[in-house]
Amino acid sequence: MKMDIERLARPEIVAMKAYASARSSAAADGILLNANEAPYTHVADPEWQRLALNRYPQPQPALLRTRLAELYGVGEDKLLMTRGSDEGIDLLTRVFCRPGQDAVAECSPCFGMYRIAATIQGARVIDVPRQAGKGFQIDFEQLEKVISEAPDVRLVFLTSPNNPTGDLISRAQLEAVLAATGERALVVLDEAYIEFCDAASAIELLGKWPQLVVLRTLSKAWAAAGVRCGIVVADPAVIGLLQRVIAPYPLSAMAIDAALAAISAASAERQRRFVAAVRQGRADLYRFLEQCDFVRQAWQGEANFILVRVADGSGLVNWCAARGIRIRDFGSYAGLAGCVRLTIGSPAELAALKSALTAYGEQP
Ligand SMILES: Cc1ncc(COP(=O)(O)O)c(C=O)c1O
């Protein structure tokens, strides 16, 4: 399907002449006197010398892009590397939402940054709440109604597996939303946790649906949250528009180096073992929670966490904090009264969590 993506973008971004940085407009070889850099670094340590800290890095590092394209099975022209998915969400909102006019749609409870990015941009947030009584299933009928009736919706944010409920969106459900959206908006599918489940990535649907944008990250299964590397995977027309807005050098030399190490062949082997361990830990913790009298409900989900409802979520958070264990309170989110989210940590961390929970349950 061919689609005019630019028609959805803010006209001033389309009309703007994008900034051309020194590194994006000339090769980085020969005598480099075009970027007002220092000719050498002051850091003597050879490990740092290797990174050429005195030079601006490549705006979209070629080797990392090639590796990520291999990893995701997609053309390099469909990738944009960003400072975490957080930046991808921000760029999409800034490019596609006119302040005071356009809107984004989300299905709460969901990741909080969609709303924050929209609010910063002055875009309205249309929430289609998930159905608490039905395992937090998305109300697809209502979502499709919102998309077809609100002409100002530019971005539909979906998450699979979702944070904090852990549920997946099926291929059929996703394609139904894409069909209902047509050329009116982009459908942004955030797959931050996809490696933890068996479901295939929607990246393979990009050729069929140019309005689909997939967000991936190295922060979760790749165990590299500190690197700050997220990836927008989308039609080259979407990537080109985002590139007009992204900072000239978003990834530092250290981040590029670390991202390459994080997805190297050796790390990939460890990643497979880690994902298996998380899934095992998740199943074990879920079984344990089912036996806790104070647990009212637990959602095992398909990611690296479990959502749990208890009578007093904040009390449980404080109880764990007093024992040096931090868990996340979701009680203030609509529909999540008494809910806390437990990340699947290492076996030792989970053992500590279980003993804190056991002691909590044994209180008089
Ligand atoms: C659904 C979802 N998307 C994106 C992010 C942010 O990822 P990144 O670290 O790549 O910015 C998170 C972080 O928790 C998340 O839960």
**Residue 85 C-alpha to ligand 1 middle, in angstroms?**
6
- pLDDT value, residue 107: 97
Residue 135, SS3 per DSSP: coil
Task: Give the model confidence (pLDDT) of 302-350 as tens digits.
Answer: 999 999 999 999 999 999 999 999 999 999 998 999 999 999 999 999 9
188 and 156 Cβ atoms separated by less than 8 Å: yes
- Determine contact, residues 260/67, Cβ cutoff 8 Å: yes
pLDDT at 132: 83
**Closest ligand 1 atom, CA of 83?**
11
Ligand 1 center–CA 192 separation, angstroms:
6
First to last CA, the chain: 64
Structure tokens at 317: 């958070």
Contact (CB, 8 A) for 155 and 185: yes
- Enumerate long-range contacts of 167-174, CB under 8 Å, 24 or more apart: 167/135, 167/136, 167/137, 167/299, 167/301, 167/302, 168/197, 168/199, 168/302, 169/138, 171/200, 171/202, 171/205, 173/138, 173/140, 174/202, 174/205
169-197 in b/e form (b: 16+ CB < 10 A) is: beeebbbbbbebbeebbbbbbbbbbbbbb
The answer to whether 193 and 161 have CB atoms below 8 angstroms apart is yes
Which pLDDT does position 357 carry in this prediction? 98
Ligand 1 binding pocket includes 162 (Cβ within 6 Å): no
Which run of H or of E encompasses 354?
helix 347-361
Could you check whether the bond before residue 164 is cis, i.e. omega within 30 degrees of 0? yes
362 CA to centre of ligand 1 in angstroms: 35
CB of 121 closer than 6 angstroms to any ligand 1 atom: no
Supply the residue whose CA is at minimum distance from atom 3 of ligand 1: 192
What pLDDT is recorded for position 227? 98
What is the model's pLDDT at position 133?
81
CA-to-CA distance for 278 and 350, rounded, in angstroms? 11
Per-residue pLDDT, 355: 98
pLDDT for residue 52: 94
Element (H, E) at 11: helix 11-15
Lowest-confidence region among 132-136, 175-179, 241-245, 325-329? 132-136
Q: Residue 138: is its pLDDT beyond 90? A: yes
pLDDT at 135: 82
pLDDT at 1 over 70: no
CA distance 237 to 187: 15
**What spacing in Å lies between the alpha carbon of 89 and ligand 1's midpoint?**
10
* Whether the Cβ atoms of residue 202 and residue 174 lie closer than 8 Å to each other: yes
pLDDT in tens, 12-38: 999 998 888 999 999 999 999 999 999
Q: What's the confidence (pLDDT) of residue 166?
A: 96
Position 2 pLDDT exceeds 80: no
In angstroms, how far is CA 160 from the centroid of its own chain?
10
Residues near 93 by beta carbon (within 8 Å), at least 6 away in sequence:
104, 117, 118, 120, 121, 123, 155
pLDDT at residue 257, rounded to an integer: 97
How confident is the model at residue 78, as a pLDDT?
A: 98
Q: What is the tens place of the pLDDT at every residue in 40-63?
A: 999 999 989 999 999 999 999 999
Calculate ∠ Cα 254-256-258, nearest 5°. Answer: 65
Q: What is the mean pLDDT of residues 82-108?
A: 98
Q: What is the mean pLDDT of the chain?
A: 96
Strands 212-217 and 230-234, how do they pair?
A: antiparallel
Q: What pTM did the predictor assign?
A: 0.97
Check: CB of residue 237 under 8 Å from CB of residue 5.
Answer: yes
